[in-house]
Amino acid sequence: MQVFKEIKPLRAFLKDKWNNISIGLVPTMGALHAGHLSLIKASKEENKLTICSIFVNPTQFNNPSDLEKYPRTLNSDLQLLEQTGCDIVFAPDRIEMYQNASNLKFDFGQLDKILEGEFRPGHFSGVALVVSKLFHIVQPTIAYFGQKDFQQFKIIEKLIEELKFDIHLKRMPVFREADGLAMSSRNMRLSEPERKKAIVLYESLIASKKLLTQGISISQAKEFVKQKWESIAGIKLDYFELADSENLNLLETVTGKSVLLIAGFVGEVRLIDNLLLNE
Ligand code: AMP
């Protein structure tokens, strides 16, 4: 496995050795877990060369303390990637990616104003900016993103379509802990009691799915979830919504392509999850 920290040598390497072969890119912010590694494994199966980027992207954090406390575990990440058979790691520093403070902004209309966009203003503009940079630097054949960040996936889909990136986008399923909690780098920040409480996200999704299939309305499901969260100390619900899984328009009734999305704080750690109702 080779590790690059600068763009120029990475580009020269890709051009010389790997031109016209299939390249898989897995963008991450590090603190890797089995969910990330499932993306690496998928890329390895489908490409000649797999590149994992590790960069905690400052422009997508609207909360300075979240950025500061985001786990950074580069050494163990590199070990995990080596064991998984990743070919290249691109781990730039902040200066390499943003020489000057960037004012470039993206506007995806309604798509970046709802759900995560409402609670994390500017977040998706930062995501689109860094992913555009990574796409230009690496020029992958296939880019792998997780369903765990469902709205982010929709943003990347739009980005590829609007900017005509010649990249195939793949959505990978949510990897979960044994009790159902979606794997996330932020889970590392949970205390033991918080870790137990964090299952409330998945439980809310599963219970609501069941209730919705039994015929209750989405407003009743929302009330059920609200009360569930209010009954547990030290957690705070940001949103629980039903949306169209194609365009993320919020829905009042379940359709043939619906997704439930949830976000909230467990202690000081903000977690998200989602469940497709038709899969
Ligand atoms: P992150 O490092 O959190 O930015 O995530 C990097 C990529 O891994 C994104 O495409 C995420 O959607 C994906 N990812 C994060 N957690 C999971 C998970 N539990 N299962 C599958 N993919 C995930």
pLDDT tens-digit readout, 111-170? 999 999 999 999 999 999 999 999 999 999 999 999 999 999 999 999 999 999 999 999
34-61: per-residue pLDDT in tens?
A: 999 999 999 999 999 999 999 999 999 9
Q: What is the pTM of this model?
A: 0.96
Measured between alpha carbons, how far is 147 from 144 in angstroms, rounded to an integer?
Answer: 10
Cβ contact 164:249 at 8 Å: no
- Residue whose CA is closest, atom 7 of ligand 1? 28
Q: Dihedrals φ, ψ of 131, to 5°?
A: -70, -35
Q: How far is CA 103 from the centre of its chain?
A: 23
Helix axis angle, 74-84 relative to 34-46, nearest 10°?
40
Distance 214 CA to ligand 1 centre (A): 31
- Residue whose CA is closest, atom 5 of ligand 1? 28
Residue 53 burial (C-beta neighbours within 10 Å; 0-12, 13-18, 19+)? buried
Q: What are the pocket residues of ligand 1 if the criterion is a CB atom closer than 6 Å to any ligand atom? A: 28-29, 35-36, 38-39, 145-146, 148-149, 172, 174-175, 182-185
Helix axis angle, 123-138 relative to 150-162, nearest 10°?
60
Distance 118 CA to ligand 1 centre (A): 21
* Overall average pLDDT of the 55-78 stretch: 96
Measured between alpha carbons, how far is 249 from 182 in angstroms, rounded to an integer?
Answer: 23
% of the chain at pLDDT higher than 70: 99
* Overall average pLDDT of the 175-198 stretch: 98
pLDDT band of residue 103 (cuts 50, 70, 90) is: confident
Which residues are known catalytic residues?
36
Atom in ligand 1 nearest the alpha carbon of residue 182: 19
Measured between alpha carbons, how far is 277 from 27 in angstroms, rounded to an integer?
Answer: 27
